[in-house]
C-alpha cells in the first residue's frame, strides 16, 4: 500500500457516483474509459479512488471472515406467530375497556370544567352586587350624562321630558 500525504483529499462531486461504479466493478465500456481518463488528470479523484479501491480490496478479503448470524432455526417462525397472537390478545383485551375508560375521562373533564365555571360565577356575583349598590348610593348612576332616561335634575329637564314625543325610545 502506498503512503498518502493527504488522506482527506476530495474527489470531484460529479464523478463520485461514477467512481463508485468503477471501484465496485459495476461500470464498463465508455463509462469506465471516461473514469480512467479523468483519474489521469485529477489528483483529488485519484487519491480518493486509491483509498476507496484499497478499502474495497480489503473488504472483499475480510468480509467472508465476518461472523454470520446464528441460524434462527425452524422454531423461529412459530415463535414469531405465538408472539403475534399474544400481542393481538393483549390488544383485544385492552380494547374491551377502552370505551369505558374514554367515557370516564370525558366525564371527569366535563365535570371539572363545569365545576370551574360554577366557582368562577359564584365568586364573581357577590362582588358585582356590592359594586352596583355602592355606585347607586354614591349617585353615580343618577348623574350619568350618557343615560338619556335618567331622572330629571331640574325643571327644564322635566319640561324637556314632557315635550319628548318618542319618550326616549
Partner 1 sequence: MPDVPKNVAASASAISVPLSRRSRADEERELVRLAQSGTESAFEELVRRHQNRVFGLVNSILRRREDVEDVAQQVFLKAFVSIKRFDLRAAFSTWLYKITVNECWDYLRKKKVRPLTYESDMSEEQVSRLDGIVSADRPPERADQRAEVKETLEWMLEKLPEQDRELLVLKEIEGFSVQELSEILDLNVNTVKVRLFRARAKLMDVYHRRVGPGGPSR
Selected range binding partner 1 among 11-19, 28-36, 106-114, 159-167, rule: CB under 8 A: 11-19
Question: According to the binding rule CB under 8 A, does residue 24 interact with partner 1?
Answer: yes
Long-range contacts (CB closer than 8 Å, 24 or more residues apart) made by 10-15: 10/44, 10/48, 11/42, 11/44, 11/45, 11/47, 11/48, 11/49, 12/38, 12/42, 12/44, 12/45, 15/42, 15/45
Based on its alpha-carbon atoms, the radius of gyration of the chain, rounded to whole angstroms, reads 45
* The binder of partner 1 chosen from 25, 43, 85, 106 (CB under 8 A): 85
Question: According to the binding rule CB under 8 A, does residue 72 interact with partner 1?
Answer: yes
Selected range binding partner 1 among 29-37, 49-57, 111-119, 131-139, rule: CB under 8 A: 49-57
Question: According to the binding rule CB under 8 A, does residue 96 interact with partner 1?
Answer: no
Closest CA to 150 of 158, 159, 142, 139: 142
- Stretch 124-153 residues interacting with partner 1 (CB under 8 A): none
Question: According to the binding rule CB under 8 A, does residue 1 interact with partner 1?
Answer: yes
* Closest distance of CB 61 from partner 1, Å: 5
- H or E segment to which residue 61 belongs: helix 43-62
Residue with cell 459495476: 26
Selected range binding partner 1 among 14-22, 101-109, 126-134, 149-157, rule: CB under 8 A: 14-22
Angle at 75 between CA 71 and CA 76, to 5 degrees: 65
Question: According to the binding rule CB under 8 A, does residue 11 interact with partner 1?
Answer: yes
Q: Do 152 and 158 form a contact (C-beta atoms < 8 A)?
A: yes
* The binder of partner 1 chosen from 29, 30, 40, 68 (CB under 8 A): 68
Query: Which spans of this chain sit near partner 1 (rule: CB under 8 A)?
Result: 1-8, 11, 13, 16-17, 19-21, 23-24, 26, 48, 51-72, 74, 76-81, 83-85, 87-88
Amino acid at each position: 500500500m502506498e503512503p498518502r500525504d493527504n488522506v482527506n483529499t476530495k474527489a470531484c462531486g460529479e464523478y463520485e457516483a461514477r467512481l463508485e461504479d468503477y471501484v465496485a466493478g459495476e461500470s464498463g465500456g465508455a463509462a469506465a474509459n471516461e473514469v480512467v481518463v479523468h483519474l489521469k488528470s485529477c489528483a483529488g479523484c485519484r487519491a480518493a479512488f486509491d483509498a476507496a479501491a484499497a478499502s474495497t480490496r480489503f473488504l472483499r478479503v475480510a468480509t467472508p471472515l465476518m461472523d454470520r448470524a446464528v441460524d434462527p432455526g425452524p422454531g423461529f417462525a412459530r415463535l414469531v406467530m405465538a408472539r403475534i397472537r399474544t400481542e393481538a390478545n393483549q390488544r383485544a383485551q385492552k380494547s374491551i375497556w377502552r370505551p369505558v375508560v374514554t367515557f370516564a375521562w370525558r366525564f371527569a373533564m366535563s365535570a371539572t370544567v363545569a365545576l370551574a365555571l360554577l366557582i368562577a360565577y359564584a365568586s364573581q356575583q357577590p362582588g358585582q352586587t356590592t359594586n352596583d349598590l355602592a355606585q347607586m348610593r354614591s349617585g353615580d348612576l343618577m348623574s350619568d350624562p350618557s343615560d338619556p332616561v335618567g331622572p330629571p335634575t331640574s325643571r327644564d329637564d322635566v319640561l324637556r321630558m314632557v315635550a319628548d314625543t318618542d319618550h326616549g325610545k
